Amino acid sequence: MTSHSIVIHAGTLLANAGEAPKTKQSLLIEGGRIKEVSSGFVAPPQDAKLVDLSDKFVLPGLIDCHVHLTGQFDRGYRMRMVEDSDPKIGFNAAHNASLTLAAGFTTVRDVGALGNPDVIFALRAAIAEKKVAGPRVLCVGDILSPTGGHGQTYGYRHDVCACVQSTSGICDGIDECRRAVRRQVSQGADAIKFVATGGVLSDIKAGLDQQFTTDEIRTIIETAHNLGRRVAAHAHGAAGINAALEAGVDSIEHGSFMDDRSIELFLAKGAFHVPTIIAGVTASEMAEREGELPPAMAEKARIVGKKIKEALSRSHKAGVTIAFGTDMGVGPHGQNAREFGLLVEAGMSPREAIHAATINAAKLLNISDEAGTIAAGKTADVIAVDSSPLENVAVLERVSFVMSRGDVFRSAN
Ligand SMILES: [Zn+2]
């Protein structure tokens, strides 16, 4: 931690993923912000600290638009749901946040808290106040779900479910949907997330198709927009994807079964696709390991695993704007950058994948004036790797330097 100014010498700097990288650049950082970007290795002013990244590739801090910091899905998950107190979940979430920051992700959007949503709101505040290390957090509070929908807890006695589940996001009918959005906003939600369709990791045989009615979807989106909040729709089946897009949703998360109509709507409305391929891959691998997933989940995981990557190939080829998201909490926190390799396998160039995790993600999260590029006036969220990710995107899995809001969190030396 320091309030002194810092000068970074960047061997190669990709300040903006939409432009070519430049060699030998200097960044002047003051008060947690980028003050100036200049050519050549500028000598630090008196009292300033020099950070020598002259043999590194430097780029903006990465942004993950889809994580669940309060949970980690694995074999022990179902027991922890009934064992862990809110404070325990909070400490776990703080640990997950620090793993995520160490991996070079300086901003995340948490799209659904496990249990009590106060935990993620408290973590967001503790990180903002620099009491706990972690990426900048934007969060949605509770996921909005109809009764029996993907956002509900299953698999225990009903009275036990009622104990572990926060019910503030369960809503049926237009009035309750409107109230549920307003309740999340009143509790501090930065954005709203709802389940337009069924999902893989809910232990119920309810398919992957539309769950809220079209009227309910319209109400959720309209109410959220009136309160100045962006809306993310969890959606696999085409009917749910299309109903959400028609109603003006800002992003479709997953998008596994998108069809021709979905592509038309994405383009016409300017909505983002957040593909989360790594979550589909992780869940389908778990489905192959005997006993790891209950039958209702395993059946859905096998179907979605393949589809989710095809969906990204299709949306990317058609020119849909892609924003980076991993659904970590399904996969292990801190391994977010594995998504880059999958995006490239599905047809994106490394530069496009980095664009999705910086400029596009900042746009979707409505924080372009703070993050997404390295430029004068923006927050000093800066990372470095040992070689060019434009040649081999997998180097982003081994980040060697992380600066978050002007503080060096992970040092290169
Ligand atoms: Zn998710």
Q: Average pLDDT of the chain? A: 93
Instruction: Check whether residue 113 and residue 196 sit in a common domain.
Output: yes
Instruction: Check whether residue 48 and residue 171 sit in a common domain.
Output: no
* pLDDT of 172 higher than 60: yes
Instruction: Check whether residue 54 and residue 119 sit in a common domain.
Output: no
Q: How far away, in angstroms, is 328 Cα from ligand 1 center? A: 8
Look at the chain and report how many structural domains it folds into: 2
Q: How far away, in angstroms, is 168 Cα from ligand 1 center? A: 18
Instruction: Check whether residue 42 and residue 142 sit in a common domain.
Output: no
Other CB atoms within 10 Å distance of the CB of residue 129: 8
Question: pTM for the full model?
Answer: 0.96
Residue 393 within a domain = yes
Domain that holds residue 56: 6-61+373-410
Tell me the per-residue pLDDT of 28-37, one tens digit each, with 9 for 90 and over: 999 999 999 9
Instruction: Check whether residue 34 and residue 177 sit in a common domain.
Output: no
Strands ordered across the beta sheet of 105-110: 62-67, 105-110, 136-139
* pLDDT of 49 higher than 60: yes
**Model pLDDT, residue 413:** 66
Tell me the per-residue pLDDT of 386-403, one tens digit each, with 9 for 90 and over: 999 999 999 999 999 999
Q: How far away, in angstroms, is 394 Cα from ligand 1 center? A: 23
Instruction: Check whether residue 51 and residue 98 sit in a common domain.
Output: no
Q: How far away, in angstroms, is 130 Cα from ligand 1 center? A: 26
Amino acid in the structure at residue 181: V
Q: How far away, in angstroms, is 244 Cα from ligand 1 center? A: 17
**What CATH number has the domain bearing residue 45?**
2.30.40.10
Q: How far away, in angstroms, is 253 Cα from ligand 1 center? A: 8
* pLDDT of 2 higher than 60: no
Instruction: Check whether residue 360 and residue 393 sit in a common domain.
Output: no
Q: How far away, in angstroms, is 331 Cα from ligand 1 center? A: 10
Q: How far away, in angstroms, is 307 Cα from ligand 1 center? A: 16
Instruction: Check whether residue 205 and residue 79 sit in a common domain.
Output: yes
Q: How far away, in angstroms, is 153 Cα from ligand 1 center? A: 14
**Model pLDDT, residue 3:** 57
Instruction: Check whether residue 127 and residue 214 sit in a common domain.
Output: yes
Residue 191 within a domain = yes
Tell me the per-residue pLDDT of 244-301, one tens digit each, with 9 for 90 and over: 999 999 999 999 999 999 999 999 999 999 999 999 988 888 888 877 888 878 888 8
**What CATH number has the domain bearing residue 354?**
3.20.20.140
